[in-house]
Amino acid sequence: MQQVNLGMIGGGTVGGGVFQALQRNGDLLAARAGVGVRLQRIAVKALDEPRKVEIPPALLTTDWRSVVADPQVHIVAELAGGTGIAREMILTALKLGKPVVTANKALLSACGEELFAAAREHGTNLYYEASVAGGIPIIKSLREGFIGNRILRIYGIVNGTCNYILTRMQLEGAEFADVLADAQRQGYAETPPDLDIDGHDSLHKIGILASLAHGFWVKPGQIHVEGIRNISKMDIQFAGRLGYAIKLLGVVKKMPAGTRRTAPANGGPVQVAVHPALIPHTHVLASVNDTFNAVFVRGDVVGDTVFYGRGAGQDPTASAVLSDLADAALDLKLGTRNRLPPFVPHERNGRVLPMADAVSRFYLRLSVADRPGVLAKVAAALARNKIGISSVIQPEGHEGASVPLILMIHDAPNRAMSRALAHIGRLPAVKAPPVMIRVENFE
Ligand code: HSE
């Protein structure tokens, strides 16, 4: 049995999980792949840090450079995280021609192009299954399983923290701030929680998926992002009455080529966004609850597919890292060091659709004075922007008092909706900033 040696950087939750999974299933992996992965060294921040998973001290060092440079180390796993020194760790290993496995979505989102180019230049590979949706093999599916498909749609619930908070708000009728505080107390949400709840963790993951699916690197600044801070229990309840759940959704839509003569032959731009969305109860993604992740992929050959599982945590992430380790070990064994490049920039005309041009349906909640003519003024502001109403709810109130007014809006461009909302927000009868949430029908 051939064997390759692994140098790991990071002995925290993910590193500890990989150590444990290799102990548990390393022999199985070797039997299946025909090549074993042996842990040679682990670089950690401090030798005496408390660890959930006990690692033999003889494996530990605080010198990551010595791990990467060790001639006995054939594969490097960067599991340290962060966007600072992790970049240097990965580049150093790639320059030595060593394949690298990483779980680092934030770094890939910011520096993916540079890191993948370095892998190409040095004839080696960079594997990143664990960077998106934890234990769900979505990277491998896009890279290999769907290699013969044009990817028309990706919808992802890829942040467990947000999904957990929204699920509890829905089930308990609780407000965002209360659930967040409790989730932090219980260790389900980070402190500070901003990266998750403001949508940036989802943005990193959706950007990686969009880039991989469409063959050009989607930069984080090109992705429209909204988090879940402004979702209230009232919106979740009204959405429920209308037949929808609210989820934080990553959306990647390939638009058809326009009618203009300049439209590229291979279709139009790609919409890439992260925002809360109303999802019909009848759609499979509406029942993805708690900390679970799910990714929906529509290919032009395969049709619709859905992947579901745990998107974070020690064991699901370790499962993804082991899959990459097996691939890297096989490449080394077979001398196919770059059998399937990590990311191929094959789309020279690729571009991201400006969010203002993206079209969707909308849920709109206004707080209005209950007096004659208010609904007419709101409808007129929408009509002036060629926006149609598909349904209206106004719970019975007292004349003159403030009441919620819920409007479901037909397909409209975001630009027109923003103009109409600016107008509506200035109407004297409108008592609070309008709440607007997009509605996704998965067409
Ligand atoms: N904090 C993320 C989540 C996991 O809540 O899903 C790491 O990306």
Q: Classify domain 356-439 by CATH architecture.
A: 2-Layer Sandwich (3.30)
pLDDT, tens only, 188-243 = 899 999 999 999 999 999 999 999 999 999 999 999 999 999 999 999 999 999 99
pLDDT, tens only, 351-397 = 999 999 999 999 999 999 999 999 999 999 999 999 999 999 999 88
Give the ligand 1 atom nearest the CA of 201.
8
Phi then psi for residue 67, to 5 deg, are -70, -45
pTM: predicted TM-score of the whole model, two decimal places = 0.96
Q: State the pLDDT confidence band at 400, using cuts at 50, 70 and 90.
A: confident
pLDDT > 90? residue 106: yes
Distance 54 CA to ligand 1 centre (A): 24
Q: What pLDDT is recorded for position 338?
A: 77
pLDDT > 60? residue 265: no
pLDDT > 70? residue 264: no
Q: What pLDDT is recorded for position 434?
A: 97
Tell me which fold the domain 2-134+314-334 belongs to.
Rossmann fold (3.40.50)
Pocket test for ligand 1, best of 196, 208, 317 (most atoms within 8 A of CB): 196
Phi then psi for residue 4, to 5 deg, are -120, 155
pLDDT > 60? residue 330: yes
- Of how many residues is the chain composed? 443
Alpha carbons 351 and 414: distance in angstroms, whole number: 18
Pocket test for ligand 1, best of 159, 202, 317 (most atoms within 8 A of CB): 159
Distance 197 CA to ligand 1 centre (A): 10
Pocket test for ligand 1, best of 14, 102, 161 (most atoms within 8 A of CB): 161
Distance 411 CA to ligand 1 centre (A): 32
199 touches ligand 1 (CB under 6 Å):
no
Q: Is 139 exposed, middle or buried (0-12, 13-18, 19+ CB in 10 A)?
A: buried
Q: What pLDDT is recorded for position 260?
A: 54
Give the ligand 1 atom nearest the CA of 312.
4
Q: What pLDDT is recorded for position 194?
A: 96
Tell me which fold the domain 142-310 belongs to.
Dihydrodipicolinate Reductase; domain 2 (3.30.360)
Q: State the pLDDT confidence band at 11, using cuts at 50, 70 and 90.
A: very high
List the residue whose alpha carbon is closest to atom 2 of ligand 1: 159
CB within 8 Å of 264: residues ≥ 6 apart: 257, 349
The residue type at 258: G
pLDDT > 70? residue 261: no
Same topology for domains 142-310 and 356-439, yes or no? no
Give the ligand 1 atom nearest the CA of 159.
6
311 touches ligand 1 (CB under 6 Å):
yes
Residue ranges covered by each domain of the chain: 2-134+314-334, 142-310, 356-439
The pLDDT mean for the chain works out to: 95
pLDDT, tens only, 115-126 = 999 999 999 999
pLDDT, tens only, 275-308 = 999 999 999 999 999 999 999 999 999 999 999 9
Q: Is 428 exposed, middle or buried (0-12, 13-18, 19+ CB in 10 A)?
A: exposed
Annotated catalytic residue 205: yes
Q: HSE (CB half, 13 Å, CA atoms) of 312? A: 21
Dihedral of the alpha carbons of 326, 329, 334, 339, in degrees to the nearest 10: 70
15 touches ligand 1 (CB under 6 Å):
no
Q: How many CB atoms sit inside 10 A of residue 218's CB?
A: 25
Q: What pLDDT is recorded for position 398?
A: 85
198 touches ligand 1 (CB under 6 Å):
no
Which residue among 205, 247, 253, 254 is the active-site one?
205
159 touches ligand 1 (CB under 6 Å):
yes
pLDDT, tens only, 48-103 = 888 999 999 999 999 999 999 999 999 999 999 999 999 999 999 999 999 999 99
